[in-house]
């Protein structure tokens, strides 16, 4: 089934630990994004990648890093998790680099940092 796969679905993590959220798409989309969604707030962009080999910072990049070694994979790493990073994380992709393209989202990863 074409789409985006995120893992893990849910994770509880101790503060200070390193965590990588995985994201894989099989639609050959050029652009990929990581968002966090918190209650009462709109989706906030963490990092994005317009094409394999390039990445950029979004609205809330601090404490997060990404890589885009190939078209399909776009992992998000929390080097040293803090409680304020408790959130639901969504990976998304779009066919083109322009934001005017429709986003396809993964099912989300719920992360709790204690």
For binding to another protein (CB under 8 A), which residues are involved? 40-45, 90, 98-100, 102-108
Least distance (Å) between residue 73 CB and another protein: 18
Least distance (Å) between residue 56 CB and another protein: 10
Closest C-alpha to 106, from 88, 86, 85, 92: 92
Least distance (Å) between residue 38 CB and another protein: 9
Least distance (Å) between residue 17 CB and another protein: 25
SS3 call for 104: strand
Alpha-carbon distance of 47 to 91, in angstroms, equals 10
| 14 vs 100 by CB, closer to another protein | 100
| 13 vs 43 by CB, closer to another protein | 43
Q: Report the 10 Å Cβ neighbour count for 8.
A: 12
Alpha-carbon distance of 90 to 46, in angstroms, equals 10
| 29 vs 106 by CB, closer to another protein | 106
Alpha-carbon distance of 25 to 98, in angstroms, equals 18
| 37 vs 67 by CB, closer to another protein | 37
């Amino acid at each position: 089934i074409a789409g985006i796969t995120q893992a893990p679905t849910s994770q509880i993590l101790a503060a200070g630990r390193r965590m990588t959220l995985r994201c894989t798409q099989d639609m050959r989309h050029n652009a990929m994004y990581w968002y966090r969604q918190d209650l009462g707030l709109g989706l906030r962009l963490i990092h994005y990648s317009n094409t394999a080999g390039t990445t950029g910072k979004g609205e809330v990049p601090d404490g997060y890093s990404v890589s885009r070694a190939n078209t399909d994979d776009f992992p998000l790493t929390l080097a040293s998790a803090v409680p304020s990073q408790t959130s639901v994380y969504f990976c998304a992709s779009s066919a083109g680099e322009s934001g005017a393209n429709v986003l396809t989202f993964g099912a989300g990863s719920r992360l709790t940092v204690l």
